[in-house]
């Protein structure tokens, strides 16, 4: 059990922008140094690192060891599958600390899409030089051959795949086009309002109302421009240590209650060939494990930071994590909402749609701020936060 054995004691980030002059390496160093300063820890005391695996994370551990002057890195680990690594990297860090393999572990994520290519591209390739969104592949089928089953049919980018899911959701649950538009727009507009009050958000000065949302160009029906995440440069980092050490570093450590990760056949990122329920975003059994290991219920969650590559994902996440019955989230977001006065405030920093896109890492930082009581859109009395990504990757944090 991870529950309250380790804590986040420092968070750091760079500025976010469509294009920044710094390289991903420089951005990573800036974010890590900010997180260490926030924790009051000298870089020389770092002995562990966790990151997303290449090609998603371009900055390697040796690059940071050299840049930060770390004398010895005793533990380092990486997790594949992009945003689905969100729960894995914190679980790796927690396991290393609890096993005595490391005392101070840094988790980081850096993006320089302006120099390496955009994840949302559908013409040739993403940042890695690989297809922007290759479908799930059987291990014996080369990826370039597998693409031939998706690309000719318009499934070349994440946005196009998510549009397919959103359309299926509407078909399965009997939504009209207006129902779906209202649900997705409610999420996008609410998150923009959060971002308008967040000085770090890319969309802080860009207000949006229903006329703006509805008149935006259609990217991949039914997803409009404002239903898709931003494309940007930037970096985030956080620092973990044992609960015993955390108490000596600061008065407000944020404890890890649980972290989950799962992978089942044909459920790879953006998979469209899975057997059974194609709408499943987060396996129910994994969600149950997440709450059971944390020792809390869904009613205990004060704020949620859901992965939102598109506005459809928070909508479905409300159902997949068990906050709203299946097929009812579209009505819930239209009536109860996800804003400050809602039963469950969601993506209070603006999320990927309106703050920045950092593969869920900026959601972790926002959860920490909420639990410290220092968030721009502070949820009163927030004590427990959920940070969730697709495919069983999530964490529950508490003050």
Model confidence at 201: pLDDT above 60:
yes
Q: Say what the pLDDT of residue 122 is.
A: 60
Q: What is the pLDDT of residue 136?
A: 37
Residue carrying structure tokens 């770092």? 46
Band (71; pLDDT cuts 50, 70, 90) = very high
Please state which CATH class domain 6-116+230-398 belongs to.
Answer: alpha beta
> What does the alpha-carbon distance between residue 274 and residue 11 come to, in Å, rounded to a whole number?
36
pLDDT for residue 263 is more than 90: no
- The reported pLDDT for the residue numbered 270 is 62
Cα separation, 315 vs 338, in Å, equals 10
d(CA 204, CA 290): 33
Q: Average pLDDT of 300-305?
A: 98
Pairing of strands 394-398, 6-13: unpaired
In this prediction the pTM is 0.92
Cα-Cα-Cα-Cα dihedral sign, residues 89, 92, 93, 94: positive
Helix (H) or strand (E) holding 36: helix 24-39
> For this structure, is 169 an active site residue?
no
Whether residue 59 is predicted with pLDDT greater than 50 in this model: the reply is yes
Residue 240 DSSP one-character state: E
- pLDDT level of residue 271 (50, 70, 90 thresholds): low
Residues 344-389 have pLDDT tens digits of 999 999 999 999 999 999 999 999 999 999 999 999 999 999 999 9
Are 340 and 196 in contact, with CB atoms under 8 Å apart?
A: no
Residue 47: per-residue pLDDT: 98
Residue tagged active-site, from 307, 312, 321, 332: 307
Q: What is the pLDDT of residue 245?
A: 97
Strand 384-388 versus strand 394-398 pairing type: antiparallel
Q: Please, what is the Cα angle at 99 between 96 and 100, to 5 degrees?
A: 85
| pLDDT of amino acid 137 | 36
pLDDT of residue 124: 52
pLDDT, greater one: 7 or 281: 7
Percent of the chain topping pLDDT 70: 88
d(CA 160, CA 234): 25
Which DSSP string corresponds to 157-199?
SHHHHHHHHHHHHHHHHT--HHHHHHHHHHHHHHHHHHHHT-T
pLDDT at 84: 86
Q: How confident is the model at residue 140 (pLDDT cuts 50, 70, 90)?
A: very low
Closest CA to 123 of 136, 133, 113: 133
Average pLDDT, stretch 3-20? 97
Determine the average pLDDT of the residues in 109-137.
Answer: 58
Rounded CA-CA distance 294/386 in Å is: 10
Contact (Cβ atoms closer than 8 angstroms) between residue 313 and residue 279 = no
Instruction: Name the pLDDT band for 149 (thresholds 50, 70, 90).
Output: low
- Is 357 known to be catalytic? yes
H-state helical runs in 17-81: 24-39, 61-68
Lowest mean pLDDT among 225-229, 278-282, 294-298: 278-282
The DSSP call for residue 81 is: S
Q: Which residue has the higher pLDDT, 80 or 291?
A: 291
């Amino acid at each position: 059990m991870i529950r309250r054995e380790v804590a986040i004691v420092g968070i750091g980030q760079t500025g976010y922008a469509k294009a920044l002059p710094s390289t991903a390496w420089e951005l990573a160093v800036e974010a890590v140094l900010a997180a260490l300063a926030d924790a009051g820890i000298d870089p020389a005391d770092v002995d562990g690192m966790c990151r997303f695996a290449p090609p998603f994370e371009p900055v390697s551990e040796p690059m940071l060891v050299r840049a930060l002057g770390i004398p010895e890195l005793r533990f380092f680990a990486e997790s594949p599958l992009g945003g689905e690594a969100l729960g894995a990297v914190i679980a790796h860090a927690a396991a290393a600390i609890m096993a005595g393999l490391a005392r101070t572990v840094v988790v980081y994520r850096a993006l320089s899409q302006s120099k390496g290519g955009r994840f949302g591209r559908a013409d040739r390739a993403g940042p890695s030089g690989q297809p922007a969104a290759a479908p799930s592949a059987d291990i014996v089928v080369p990826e370039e051959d597998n693409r031939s089953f998706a690309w000719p049919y318009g499934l070349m980018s994440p946005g196009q795949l998510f549009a397919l899911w959103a359309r299926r959701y509407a078909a399965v649950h009997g939504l009209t086009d207006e129902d779906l538009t209202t649900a997705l727009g409610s999420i996008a507009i609410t998150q923009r309002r959060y971002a308008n009050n967040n000085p770090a958000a890319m969309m802080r000065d860009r207000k949006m109302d229903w006329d703006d949302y509805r008149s935006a160009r259609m990217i991949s029906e039914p997803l409009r421009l404002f239903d898709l995440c931003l494309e940007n440069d930037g970096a985030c980092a956080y620092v973990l240590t044992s609960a015993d050490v955390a108490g000596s570093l600061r008065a407000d450590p944020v404890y890890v209650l649980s972290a989950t990760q799962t992978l089942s056949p044909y459920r790879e990122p953006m998979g469209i060939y899975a057997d059974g329920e194609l709408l499943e975003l987060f396996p129910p059994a994994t969600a149950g494990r997440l709450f059971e290991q944390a020792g809390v219920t869904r009613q205990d969650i004060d704020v949620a930071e859901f992965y939102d590559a598109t506005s459809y994902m928070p909508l479905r996440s409300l159902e997949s994590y068990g906050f709203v019955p299946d097929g009812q989230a579209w009505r819930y977001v239209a009536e109860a909402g996800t804003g400050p006065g809602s039963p469950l405030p969601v993506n209070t920093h603006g999320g990927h749609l309106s703050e920045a896109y950092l593969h869920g890492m900026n959601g972790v930082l926002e959860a920490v701020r909420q639990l410290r009581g220092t968030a721009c859109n502070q949820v009163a009395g927030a004590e427990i936060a959920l940070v969730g990504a697709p495919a069983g990757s999530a964490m529950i944090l508490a003050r």
